[in-house]
Amino acid sequence: MAIINKDKKEMRREILLRRNALSADWVNSQSALIVGFLTNWEPFLQAKNVMLYLAMPGEPNIDELILFALENGKQVSVPLLTEKFGYMESAAITGLQDLKTGKLNLRVPDPEKITIVDPGSLDLILVPAVAFDLNGNRLGMGAGYYDRFLTQASKACTLGVAWSFQIVPFVAAEEHDVPVQYVITEEKITICSKGKM
C-alpha cells in the first residue's frame, strides 16, 4: 500500500508541475476544442441534468460549456464542498453569476444562490482529475470527493476531462475508487474499458 501511495504522490506531483506550467493562451485554445467536442457529443446533448465543474488554474476550462448547457435548457450543477472533509454536493446554478470567490481564490457556488441536486437524478457528470488511465481509473487530489459522490450517482454517464498528457498507462485503483466511462482530452473522446455502462 505504501508503494502505491508513493507512486500516486509522485505521479500527482509531476503532472501538476506540468499542468501548472501551461500558458493561459494554450489552456484557452485547447479548452475550446474540448467544449467543441462536447457540444456535438450525443450523450451530452441528450442529458437533461448535468454536473459540470469549475476549472482550477491549468485545468480544461468549460465555462462555455456551462453557458451552452444553460442556453439549451439543461439543469446545470457544479460541486459544492461540504463542511465534512472529503464530501461534496451537487449545487444547481442558473449562470456564472451564481458563483463567488472562495478559499485559495477559487470559484465556488454561492450557497445563497443555489439549490442542492439529488446525485441520483444526474444524467451526466464531468469529472476532472490529475490523471486517468484508459480503464477509467482516475488519480485525483487525494481527498476522495468524487469517489464518494459518484457512488451516489448510479445512473449518471461519467466522463473524465483532462489534457492528453494526463492520460497515463496505469493508475492504481483501490476498492473504493469509481472509474469513469469515458475520457475526453483536447484530441478525442475515448471509451474506457472498466467504466460502468
| pLDDT tens sequence across 169-178 | 999 988 888 9
Q: Domains of the chain: which residue ranges?
A: 2-191
Residue type, 10: E
What is the biggest distance separating any 2 CA atoms in the chain, rounded to whole angstroms? 47
Question: For the segment 119-142, what is each residue's pLDDT rounded down to a tens digit?
Answer: 999 999 999 999 999 999 999 988
Domain covering 2-191, topology: Rossmann fold (3.40.50)
Q: How confident is the model at residue 114 (pLDDT cuts 50, 70, 90)?
A: confident
What is the Cα gyration radius of the chain?
Answer: 16
Report the pLDDT value the prediction gives residue 195, as an integer from 0 to 100: 58
Question: For the segment 54-100, what is each residue's pLDDT rounded down to a tens digit?
Answer: 999 999 999 999 999 999 999 999 999 988 888 999 999 999 999 99
